[in-house]
Amino acid sequence: MSRFSGADILVRRLVVSAFVLFMLAASAHAVSYASRVVFYTPGTAGPLWQNPSAALGGASVLTGENPAASNYFGFPNILSPFSPAYQGDEIVQIGEGGQLTLGLSNFALVGSGKEIGIYTNVGLVDADYPNGTNTNPATRFGGGSANVSVSADNINWVSLGSRTFTMPSFLFPNAGPYLTAPPPSVFFADFGLPMPSPFSCFDGKGWMQAQDCFLVSPNVWSAGGDWLNLASSGLSQVGYIRFEIPSDGNPGTDLRLAIDTVAINNAAVGSPVPEPASLLVLPLVALVFGRRRGC
């Protein structure tokens, strides 16, 4: 005789079903990101945000929740357009005279429109806190500009010119903008889908209407970000991306850009980017010297 009642069995089935749906949703959003730091020099970046590894992999679901990371002040929040990443384990900053070069996990295949998404620390200004109402016209904080270059091999680089990053990030379509924990749902935006709307889409909109700015198709949302069309590079694929902020020679300015994550368009993911040749040679050299010492 079963130890469980009909109600218990129903609850268990619902739990299993929810778990399966979650796994399916998670697998559908398997995005390819930057996976290695090739070079970093902070320039005039703030000392709290000089960990370049913060730009690798996906963005943090929660911001400000880590007491062990820099810039912690005890106010966790889900990643939302009004609450961008701000701790030292979530973003890395580039200042004047600084540079960040990242290697992608996979090549971004050129020809798919907007192939690479740049997620920064842009936040929308809330005109009716805590209701998530945009000003009209919409205003922001964070973001910034940098010279962007791309490469297929980390040897030959092509400049894309100066780019300004203004778009916020968005993760949970079924949540308010200031939740302190993720909602219990399988609905979330996709970091591998280009942002479909311009910044002006947010002008004067309340929270529910502003979510439509991220809507790609029914029940499918982009996670926002600024997206790069790589057609002008002349490359067939891109495996590396570089951000540089040269000094403007003005002591009264302090130009900076914070990177949260770099993602590849789901439709433009190519083969894995191999490890740089120099990194592959080092273990071989060590092996040869080790054998010689053993002779």
Domain ranges of the chain: 1-30, 31-294
Among residues 195, 212, 261, 284, which one has the least CA distance to residue 63?
A: 261
**In angstroms, rounded to a whole number, what is the distance separating the alpha carbons of residues 92 and 170?**
19
Bridge pairing between strands 77-78 and 220-221: unpaired
Cβ atoms within 10 Å of 192's Cβ, excluding its own? 20
Each residue's pLDDT tens digit, 114-154? 999 999 999 999 999 999 999 999 999 999 999 999 999 99
DSSP state of 60: P
Q: Is the pLDDT of residue 274 over 70?
A: yes
Partners of 224 in the beta sheet?
Answer: 169
Mean pLDDT of 213-232: 97
Each residue's pLDDT tens digit, 82-96? 999 999 999 999 999
Confirm if 34 and 107 have CB atoms less than 8 A apart.
no
Mean pLDDT of 21-37: 67
* pLDDT value for 13: 36
> Nearest-5° angle of CA 187, CA 190, CA 191?
145
* pLDDT value for 185: 76
Instruction: Indicate the burial class of 13 (C-beta count within 10 angstroms; 0-12, 13-18, 19 or more).
Output: exposed
Each residue's pLDDT tens digit, 159-169? 999 999 999 99
How far is the CA of 167 from the CAs of 101, 147, 148, 276, in angstroms? 21, 17, 17, 32
Omega before 274 within 30 of 0, i.e. cis: no
Q: Is the pLDDT of residue 26 over 70?
A: no
* pLDDT value for 277: 61
**7-21, 32-46, 55-69, 269-283: segment of lowest average pLDDT:** 7-21
* pLDDT value for 154: 98
**In angstroms, rounded to a whole number, what is the distance separating the alpha carbons of residues 55 and 117?**
12
User: Predicted confidence band at 42 (pLDDT cuts at 50, 70, 90)?
Assistant: very high
* pLDDT value for 29: 57
Among residues 191, 168, 157, which one has the least CA distance to residue 264?
A: 191
Task: Give the residue, 99 or 3, on which the prediction is more confident.
Answer: 99
Among residues 231, 223, 216, which one has the least CA distance to residue 263?
A: 223
Mean per-residue pLDDT over the chain, rounded? 87
**In angstroms, rounded to a whole number, what is the distance separating the alpha carbons of residues 197 and 208?**
15
**In angstroms, rounded to a whole number, what is the distance separating the alpha carbons of residues 88 and 42?**
13
Mean pLDDT of 224-228: 98
Each residue's pLDDT tens digit, 166-208? 999 999 998 999 999 999 877 899 999 999 999 999 999 999 9
* pLDDT value for 181: 93
Among residues 61, 88, 22, which one has the least CA distance to residue 179?
A: 61
How far is the CA of 34 from the CAs of 211, 216, 289, in angstroms? 26, 23, 33
